[in-house]
Structures are given as structure tokens and as C-alpha cells.
Structure 1
């Protein structure tokens, strides 16, 4: 499909949102930035709590597509996850339906399938249709988001690409991340492909670079036209020297979700 001209970027003040603010305009997008907090340097950015249904509808009015990154991105009490990630995502989809927006890119997470055993040795890559096994309330909310996206496609014809993001940082910071890392440049390439591919319905893809130590299958992402160009391997020697190889007898190393399955980091707000 033709590239949407105006894209609402929710969670624009977060780590991933800040990276995409700088990278997506090169693909020709005009971004409307949205966050719970004011965004420094952009007086036109929209400050909205996604729990405010009327404000969300106003925020989406007039855009061609949405990249939904907003919400709590670590573990938190269920009540907080419920409002930020579940009710907020529902409000966004309802606003899209009411305003006739038919393409959403939803930031899902590897933590929707975090209790999936990681591949070892000659094990095959984790397929995108592996059963969901969330490792936290956070991961559970991402499972809900994927189901919500499927429902809004089946019921209302809103197309979504749900991207199970591994870790998107300028460089990998752990041995585990060598297998699920997505460079910011590849992240922008994947979001662009998700916005422009034809006939996606509801498609789930794994979001990472073409890492030498890759754990999961990128076939459905490549089918959108995504061509990852980066690899975490240049950082492997240094990280392994500092941290050691992954230990299959360590529960935090045995699963896709890493330490989220044993000692998840807690949302500080």
C-alpha cells in the first residue's frame, strides 16, 4: 500500500519512541507525537493519557496510521498494567475504528512468549505461531494486545502488524540480547514495512536484526518486505568476556524472556 503520510507515534517520549522520532521521517512520514509526558522541543506534540477515551479520539483524528509504542514497558502491579496497557490499547483501537484508521503497528514483545524455552544447539528457531506464554503481567498485556488486534481485524477490518520486539537499543548490552537485539535502523525498516505491506490482516512478526545468534524466525517479518541489515555479532566477544556464556541450567538463561521470568525489572513510576 502507499506509505501513509501522517503517522501517530504513541509513546514518543520513551526510549524506542525517541529513536523512531529521529529515524522514521527519512521514510517520508510526518509524525504526530503523543505521550503521557510533554515532549521537549515539540510544541505540537500531544500530551494524552490513553485512559482518557475522548482525548485519545481527538489525538488520532486526521492521521493515516498509528504506531503504538505507549504503555508500561516493564513489570508493574496488574492494576497499573490494566489501565496503561490494556484499557489504553482498547481506547486507541476504538478511536481508530471511529475515525476510519485502518492500519496500526502494535509494539508487542518477546515477553508475550517469555516462558518459551530458548533454542539450544541445533534446535530450530522459535516460530511466530509458538503458543503464547507470557512471563509477567506486562507480557500478559501484550498477549491481550495481539488478541485485540485480531478481533479488530476480524470484526472491523483494521489491519495490524504486531511486532514482538526483542530489545531495541543502539547496541546490545547483554549476552542474551545478542540473540534478540534489533538495531534502531532495523527497527525503523521493520515499522516502515509494517506500515506499507499489502494485505496484512493481523500479522505477528518477530522484531530483531539478522543476528548470527538469532533465536526466532523472521520469515513473517521478511514477508512484509523487511530486510534487516544489522547483526549483534560485533559486540559478542566483549559481552561474553564480561558476562560469560548463557548457562542452560540457569532459569533466567533458559527461556526467551530472560530475567523477566525470574526477577523482572519493575516500572519505576
Structure 2
């Protein structure tokens, strides 16, 4: 598919959205920004809640694709997750359907499969088709998002790449992140590949850099044209020295979702 010119970036004031506001335009995109909070330095950004279907439809109108990062990104009470991540994602897809937008890149999460056992050294990495095993209501909402994307492809022909984002920060800050880290530059590479790949239907792709300690299979991401350039291993010696290895048998030792499985950080920070 030729590169879309205008892309709606939801969640533009959030952590990943803030990074992508700077890193996506060099690929040739004109970004239309949306967030429930004002976007610093972007007076033309759309300030709207995902519950506002009229505002969402206006924001989507005329764009070539959507990168949907908006929503609650940590654990919260179910009613809050329901409103922002479940109903909100449905509202976004309805707006895309009504306005004829044919490509969405959806921020899913590793927490959709958080209770999956992490592979040990010498074991195969976790495949993309591993069953959903959410570790939180937040992770459950990402399972819903992936299934909703599949429905809108089958029913309405809207293509989606659901990116199970690991940990997108300038640098990894924990031992677990050494396996899950997605550098901001690689995140932009993956989103660009997801926006431009041909005939994606509904594709689920893990979102991490080319980490030496990677736990999951990047084959579907690479098939989109993603070529990760970064590796968390350059940070490993210092992080392991500072933090120590996870205690054997702990959630951080056992599961992809780590501490989210037992004591998830809650929204807001």
C-alpha cells in the first residue's frame, strides 16, 4: 500500500503518542492529533473523549489511516477500562467505518497474553497465535480490541495491524524490559511498516526491538517490512547490576506480564 498522507494519531498527549509525534512525520506523514487532554505545543489538536462519537467522526473524516494509541494504559477499575478501552475502541472503529477509513494500527499490548509463561533459555519464543491470557482488566481490553479488529475486517473490510507493544521507553528500566523493550525509533519503524504493508487483513504483531533476550516471535512484524535496529542488551549489564535478577518463581520470573499478574500499576500514575 502506498504511504498514507494524513494519519489520525489518537492518544497524542500520552507517553508513546508524544514520542510518535516527533518520529512519524519524517516518514512523510501529516498527523492529525487527538487526545482527551490538550496536546502541548499543538493548538490545532482535537481535544475529545473517546465517548464523543460526533467528535471522533469529525476527527477521522478525510484521514487515510488511524494509529489508535488512546485509552487507559495501566490497570484500573473495570468500569473505567470499559468506557475508555472497550467502548472507546468500538467508537473509534465505528467512526472509521462511517468515514470509509480502511487501515487502523491498533495499540494492543503484551498484557493480552500476560499470563503466558515466558520462555527459558533454549526454549522457543512465544508465537503470535498463543491464546489470549490477559493479566488484568487492561489486558482483557486489549484482547477485546484484537477481536474487534478481526470482526471489522471480516464484516467491513477495515484492515488492522494489532501491535502488542512491549515497553516503549527511551531506555529499558528493568530486567523484564530487556526482553520487552521497544525503542522509540523501532516503534516508529513498526508503525510505518504497519501503515504501508500490503493486504494485512487483521495481523497481530509483537512490538519489541531486536533484543538479545527477546521472548516472542517477531515474524509477523518482519513480514510487514519491520526491520528493528535496536537491542536492549547494551543496557543489560547495568540494569542487572542495579536491579538483580527476578526471584525464582516470582511473577516477574514466570510470566510475560511480570508483576502485572499479581500487583499491577494502576491508572493514573
TM superposition score category, shorter chain reference: over 0.9
Residues 164-203 of structure 1: pairs in structure 2 closer than 5 A: 164-203=164-203
Q: CA deviation at 1:247?
A: 3.1
TM-superposed deviation, 1:43: 1.2
Query: How many angstroms does 1:215 deviate by?
Result: 0.3
Alignment check: 8 A CA contact 1:252 1:262 kept: no
CA contact (8 A) 2:176 2:252 kept: no
Give the Cα separation in 1 of the matches to 2:266 and 2:252. Answer: 16
Q: Which TM-score applies when normalising by structure 2?
A: 0.99
Q: CA deviation at 1:244?
A: 1.1
Distance 2:11 2:190 in 1: 17
Following TM superposition, by how much is the alpha carbon of 1:252 offset from its aligned partner in structure 2, in angstroms? Answer: 3.1
Equivalent positions of 1:21-170 (< 5 A) are: 21-170=21-170
Offset from partner CA, 1:67-111 (integer Å, 9 cap, x none): 000000000000000000000000000000000000000000000
State whether residues 109 and 166 of structure 1, in contact with CA within 8 Å, keep that contact through their aligned partners in structure 2: yes
Contact 2:246–2:252 (Cα < 8 Å) also in 1: no
RMSD of equivalent CA atoms:
0.8
1:169-201, CA deviations, whole angstroms, 9 ceiling, x for partnerless residues? 000000000001000000000000000000000
**Which residue does the alignment assign to 1:246?**
246
Q: Does the 8 A contact of 2:113 with 2:256 survive in 1?
A: yes
CA distance in 1, matches of 2:101, 2:214: 34
Large movers: runs of 4+ above 6 Å:
none
Distance 2:175 2:38 in 1: 35
How far does residue 55 in structure 1 lie from its aligned partner after superposition?
1.3
8 Å CA contact 2:114, 2:257 repeated in 1: yes
Contact 1:106 1:161 in 2 (8 A): yes
Q: Distance in 2 between matches of 1:248 and 1:119?
A: 14
Partner Cα separation in structure 1 for residue 207 and residue 161 of structure 2: 11
Question: Which deviates more, 226-235 or 251-260?
Answer: 251-260
Unaligned residue ranges in structure 1 (runs of 5+): none
* TM-score, scaled to structure 1: 0.99
Q: How many residues align?
A: 269
Contact 1:247–1:254 (CA under 8 A) maintained in structure 2? no
Contact 1:10/1:70 (8 A) holds in 2: yes
After superposition, the C-alpha distances for 1:104-142 in whole angstroms (9 at most, x for unaligned) are: 000000000000000112110000000000000000000
